[in-house]
Structures are given as structure tokens and as C-alpha cells.
Structure 1
Amino acid sequence: EENNHKNNHKSCKTRLLPKRIILVRHGESEGNLDTSAYSTTPDYKISLTEEGRAQARLAGSHLRDLVSSQGPCSDWRVYFYVSPYERTRSTLREIGKSFSKKRVIGVREECRIREQDFGNFQVEERMKIIKETRERFGRFFYRFPEGESAADVFDRVSSFLESLWRDIDLNRLHSDSSQDLNLIIISHGLASRVFLMKWFKWTVEQFERLNNLGNCEIRVMELGHGGEYSLAINHSDEELLEWGLSPEMIKDQKWRIDGNKADWNDHCTWYLRSFFDYESDSEDDVERS
């Protein structure tokens, strides 16, 4: 995704790429603890439990250790994006306790990374039937009555990514090359998975095999030596498998540690094979109508 923008905005002398882009799911919410809460409380007003706040504080400590302990640069900064839902904003407030004021260069509420809309108030008995239908129809394309499909979320997250890259291209997030910038995006399970799907060009089938993030679980995308972001720098093969990545997807993540876009197709032929069955490399053997 990021390479679509590499030749844009020629007037920018130096584009400062974030060292890390970190996705964080919110802490345990009242809805996670008791799904009946969704039938009486609007989804965006669902709050964190005490356990959820504790999870967020622990995540903040872990994030601070992560961004401060790796790499030669000791001068680092963080920039937060947060979903407008109460549980994500509360998660941000708890995470923020681990960072001094000088380390935080920006916070932005971003509506496009909000939770999937499941259709206003959610009656438990009805939602059970609806989710069974979703499994038969397909998790990505099924649209909840009066709500959204994962495909709808994909569209708005894609729009967010375009805006994010414009800001990066123009150095709107930070302009000091001596500092490592860490973008921390506090959102929801599905929005985070869709973000990764868009970024790494995963197919619908690959998306549907992904497992959801746990409460306050993180995904760290770190900038590799060739200018690509990779999950494999901070996460083990075992973790990636547990998340639902296939061996081919893990191979791609490992390639991204040192690879660059110029030879992506040569090293990641699995992506082409997912659409085409190349039985011959010869032009003479190509079927002609």
C-alpha cells in the first residue's frame, strides 16, 4: 500500500517514515463481558471494565518499553490515532499514562477506524441467528441488517490509509529526522484485521482465516531495511501462525524485513498464483481465442 505513494509529492525533500505502526485493540469492555449490554447501550457508549483498564495500563507499559528499547535512536516520539468509541478512548487514556508529555507529538480521533456497525441495538437472540447466517454467507461480505459488512469497513479503512499516507508524504506528523516516530492506532479487532489486509494486500480468503485480536493485544509493523513494513521483526513464526497467517503469508512478512517493492513479484509468486495458474512460461503456449 505504501509504495503507491513513493513517487508522489516530489517537492518533499525527505519523507520521514514512521519506525513502527502499531495496532492495538481496546481493553476488555462491558460488552465483551456480557453481550446483553449491546441490547440496552449504544455500541459506541460501551465502556471498559476494571480489567480492561488494567489491561490498557499494562499495554501502555509494554508499548513504552517496545519503542524505547529497540534501535540506535534514543530520541523517539509517539503519535496516536484512536477510534471515537468510549472503550477505545478509555484505552488511550490508560495507555497514555505510560508516556511523558514530551514523547507524545499528536493525538487524533479518527472515525474511519471505528468498530463495524452491527445494526444499532443488538438483541441477543436475533444476533445469534444473524451471526449463524454470516457464517454461511461469508464473514467478509455479509452485511448486518441496518449495519455494515467487513467489506464496508475495508472501504473506510482504505480511505483512512490514503489520508495517512498523504500526511506522511508531506511530513505533517513530524519533521525531525533525528527522532524515531511510532504511530499507535487504538481501534477494534475487525478494523485492525482489515487494516492489515489492505496494507499487505491479503485476499478475502486470507482475511477470513485470520483470528481476532485479544483485548489490548498488539500487532507491530516495523520498517525494514528495504523500506517495507513487516510483522516478522517483532513477532515470531508461532505468533503469526496463531493469528491465522499461512506459511506463504509468513514468508512474505520475512521477505519484507530486507526486501523492496521493485522485486516483490519475483519473491512473492504466491500472490500471483492465487489468481493465475501458470503452467508454462512460454508465450507460444498461451491460449489464444
Structure 2
Amino acid sequence: MTQAVRQAGAVELILIRHGESQGNVAASEAQLAGAEVITVPARDADVTLSRTGHEQALALGRALSSYSAELRPDAVVSSPYVRARQTAEVAVDTAGWPVDVRTDERLRDRELGILDMLTWQGVEQRLPEEAERRRWLGKFYYRPPGGESWADVALRLRSVLSELNSLGMGHRVMLVCHDAVILLFRYILEGMTEREVLDIAASTSVLNASITRYVRPEGQGPWTLESFNQADHLTEQGVEVTEHAGDASVHPR
């Protein structure tokens, strides 16, 4: 674990995956149909929430409204991607929190480069050399041309965590982001190995609008995972829980 993380003054870190997006729905439909291309209405950064995703953001906000004033986050920071920003803004507004949602491009989803908008079937058919290279390297270190590896994403997240120092002792922070980003926060905060984080990625889908929570009561030392991928707030309100994960074949060959 980095020195910056150990010295950070924040005492709580809440990680939220965005609600279901139109892109999630389109990707699932394409996979089921065996299609090579995912038909999305906009570039990845501009894809909006689905109707279900909006309902999930509202349910998240209602759940967050139960937080007492002293336990509310002092800062809410979102990925700049529309689906994450919508989730954050709807949730904060519904919760009635007097806090502005800020954005940070380092929380954006992993960039896929030439693989963008392709299903895994599409990659196999159209870019077989990339498919083979990805199998050889595994998901953590494979960087598609024009895109990022998971290791690249982890590097930018380390700098996010280092800036918690500037917030001062006792602060609580909520970050609204993406599934791979949440898994890589776990990788950093818990000092995982490549295999350990890929084992989680292969077996667990980070649910839309789920809550992952880390605490550190003294504001220093290691973070403790209090809850991971919790979506009870959705089921308790009768809102659909959706599961949109990436390819489970993540380990190097």
C-alpha cells in the first residue's frame, strides 16, 4: 500500500457503481444475440442511464437520505461519464444532501481503444491477433491499442487516493464510478495481487447502484472493507437489481 494512502486523513470512503445504462443494456443484448458490434446511441462518455438505472439512482438516494448529518459525505465526486454523473446527481438530490457533485476524469471507466463497441465475439472475428494477445497477457496487463490496461487505471486511481490527504482528518468521501474502477480500488486499498483481484473479477459482478464502503476510524493506517457490492437498498424498495459484467475470462493463459 502506498505511503499516500496510509497517511490520508479521510475516515470513510463510499464507492458507488452507476445505475444501469443504455450501454449496459445494449451490450447484454448484443452478447445474447451473438452480435459482433454493440449498438449504442452515443460515445461511451455520453451514454445515459436506462429507465431502470434512473430508478436505481432514486432508490440509492432514498437510502442515503437516512444517513445522519454527521455521517454524510463531505465530498461527492463522480466520473465525468454521463451515466455516473446522472447517478450521483439524482442520488444526492433525492437524499437532500447540501453538497455539490464534482467530477474527476481519473474516475472514468477503462478506455477500450480499438475494442470499443465490439463484443468479445466481435474481437475474435475482427481482431484475432488482439484476442490472442489478450488471452496471453490477461485482463490486468493487456492494453488494447488506443486504450488502457487495468494497471493503467490503477495508476490514475492511486493519485486520486493520494489527494484525500488534502481533505483533512475526519472527512467522508463518496465516489461514483464504474465496475472495473471499484475492483481496482479494492486492489489498491487491500494490497491485492494481480491474481487476487482477477479472481474477484471472474466470480463477482459489481451490481449497478451498489455500495462498497471502506472505513478507517482513526484517519490513518490501513482501510477496512466494511461492505462490498451491497444492493439491499434496491431490493428493499422493489427496484430491479441488474448485473452487467465484463468478460469473466480474465486470467492470463
Question: Same fold, TM exceeding 0.5?
Answer: yes
Please say if 1:33 is aligned against 2:16. Answer: no
Preserved contact between residue 24 and residue 217 of structure 1 (Cα < 8 Å): yes
Counterpart CA distance in 2 for 1:27 and 1:33 is 11
User: How do residues 1-289 of structure 1 correspond to structure 2 at under 5 angstroms?
Assistant: 1=1, 4=4, 17-35=9-27, 36-37=37-38, 41-65=42-66, 67-68=67-68, 75-78=70-73, 79-102=75-98, 104=99, 106-119=100-113, 121-124=116-119, 125-127=121-123, 134-165=134-165, 167-168=166-167, 171=168, 181-210=171-200, 211-224=204-217, 227=220, 228-232=222-226, 234=227
Counterpart CA distance in 1 for 2:154 and 2:2 is 16
Shift of residue 158, structure 1, vs aligned partner: 1.1
Shift of residue 126, structure 1, vs aligned partner: 3.0
Query: Could you list the runs of 5+ residues in structure 1 that have no partner in the other structure?
Result: 8-14, 69-73, 172-176, 237-289
Preserved contact between residue 193 and residue 212 of structure 1 (Cα < 8 Å): no
Counterpart CA distance in 1 for 2:182 and 2:161 is 12
Query: Could you list the runs of 5+ residues in structure 2 that have no partner in the other structure?
Result: 28-36, 230-253
Preserved contact between residue 38 and residue 123 of structure 1 (Cα < 8 Å): no
Shift of residue 190, structure 1, vs aligned partner: 0.7
Task: Please report the TM-score for the alignment, with normalisation by the length of structure 1.
Answer: 0.63
- Taking a change above 3 Å as real, the CA distance of residues 134 and 40 of structure 1, as seen in their structure-2 partners, is farther
Task: Please report the TM-score for the alignment, with normalisation by the length of structure 2.
Answer: 0.71
Counterpart CA distance in 1 for 2:25 and 2:107 is 22
| Number of equivalenced pairs | 210
Shift of residue 152, structure 1, vs aligned partner: 0.7
Shift of residue 140, structure 1, vs aligned partner: 0.2
What RMSD, in angstroms, separates the aligned Cα atoms of the two structures?
A: 3.0
CA deviation profile, 1:259-287 (whole Å, cap 9, x unmatched):
xxxxxxxxxxxxxxxxxxxxxxxxxxxxx
- Greater relative contact order, per chain length (Cα 8 Å cut-off, separation 6+): 2
- Taking a change above 3 Å as real, the CA distance of residues 75 and 212 of structure 1, as seen in their structure-2 partners, is same
Counterpart CA distance in 1 for 2:70 and 2:97 is 14
- Taking a change above 3 Å as real, the CA distance of residues 208 and 51 of structure 1, as seen in their structure-2 partners, is same
Counterpart CA distance in 2 for 1:151 and 1:6 is 20
Percent identical among aligned pairs is 26
CA deviation profile, 1:103-124 (whole Å, cap 9, x unmatched):
x2x4321111100001164234
Shift of residue 160, structure 1, vs aligned partner: 1.5
- Taking a change above 3 Å as real, the CA distance of residues 46 and 6 of structure 1, as seen in their structure-2 partners, is closer
Counterpart CA distance in 2 for 1:123 and 1:229 is 37
